[in-house]
Amino acid sequence: MNHQTDTIDLDDLVDRYLAIWNDTDPAGRRGKIDTLFAGDGRYVDPLATASGRGEFDELVDGAQRQFAGLTFRRGRVFDAHHDLARFTWELVTGPDAEPIAVGFDVVEVDSTGRITRVSGFIDSMPA
């Protein structure tokens, strides 16, 4: 099912958001962040917070160093309405691999389709 507001395809937005977490090229990642995130966008999860594009970029860079070689993929849950999308994600070693970590994010967008807030939850992490 395609989850869409009047003008924003939230399925596509979530895919582009996850692509940020998987882009290991600093310039490419930053370009994706600048396109997708509002300048004052905020990210918060149990382990970290970031305000603005620069802090979010640093957060993603740190996660990529911590989980080198792993990728994020969309999990089984996806739902959206108005300017909100909620979805699960999985951190994996490969396309068919069992997840190492699982989480749940809620993304809020503005009228231009840029992310203004991500509220993240971690369901399971490696010990």
SS3 29: helix
Token pair listed for 4: 């869409």
Positions in the chain whose pLDDT score sits under 70:
1-7, 127
Q: Is residue 75 part of a domain?
A: yes
Q: Is the pTM value of this prediction over 0.85? A: yes
Query: Considering the domain boundaries, does residue 4 fall inside one?
Result: no
Residue 57's pLDDT is 98
Asked if residue 2 is part of any domain, the answer here is no
Distances (CA, A) of 31 to 25, 28, 48: 10, 5, 22
Q: What total number of domains does the chain contain?
A: 1
CATH number at residue 117: 3.10.450.50
CA distance linking residue 117 with residue 58, whole number of Å: 16
Structural domain for 84, as ranges? 10-124
Parallel, antiparallel, or unpaired: how do β-strands 101-109 and 115-124 relate? antiparallel
Structural contact between residues 18 and 88, judged by C-beta atoms closer than 8 angstroms: no
How high is the pLDDT of residue 2? 55
Question: Quick one: pLDDT at residue 10?
Answer: 82
Reference 33, options 17, 51, 49; nearest CA is 17
In a domain, 103, yes or no: yes
